[in-house]
Amino acid sequence: MTVRYTGMAEVPAVSVAKPHRPVMQAVTRGMMCRCPACGEGRLFSGYLAVNPVCSTCGEELHHHRADDAPPYFTITIVGHIIIPAMLAVEFLYRPAIWIHMTLWLSLTLILALGFLRPVKGALIGLQWALYMHGFDPDSGEDLPVPEPMATPR
């Protein structure tokens, strides 16, 4: 395949195929809070803080862009569990309002905190598998912008 430019000679088009990264495997590894590349190293250094580099394989993880997606997906998942359960309990047993408040608020909090970390890991695994947001070694557009140097006074 060649590319023609007006007024120039033919230039061969270069397309470098990147190695295939299995999406489901990377998402599953991320959901298990493991490195999406090797599945051995820990993905998180804290509750939601991502390790900058995998301690096992050396894969750079610092340039992920999870941002607001994990809380959004977590809210969606938890809402789809809590709302039907709450309606079923209301229609079957008709408990007092204080029972609803105690049960559903605590269950919502527990589920949200329980799902948030695996959802963020799965999203990072998806980004890694699809060469998104800095996980593409050939793309320079997603690299972090260096911080400006301090000017002396």
List per-residue pLDDT tens for the chain, 153 residues long: 555 555 555 555 555 678 899 999 999 999 999 999 999 999 999 999 999 999 999 999 988 888 899 999 999 999 999 999 999 999 999 999 999 999 999 999 999 999 999 999 999 999 999 999 888 877 766 555 556 666 666
DSSP state of 14: -
Question: Residue ranges per domain, the chain?
Answer: 21-129
In Å, how far are 39, 75, 77, 82, 134 from 112, measured between CA atoms? 24, 7, 9, 11, 28
Contact 47/140 with Cβ under 8 angstroms? Answer: no
pTM: 0.80
DSSP state of 54: -
Contact 70/116 with Cβ under 8 angstroms? Answer: yes
Contact 142/134 with Cβ under 8 angstroms? Answer: yes
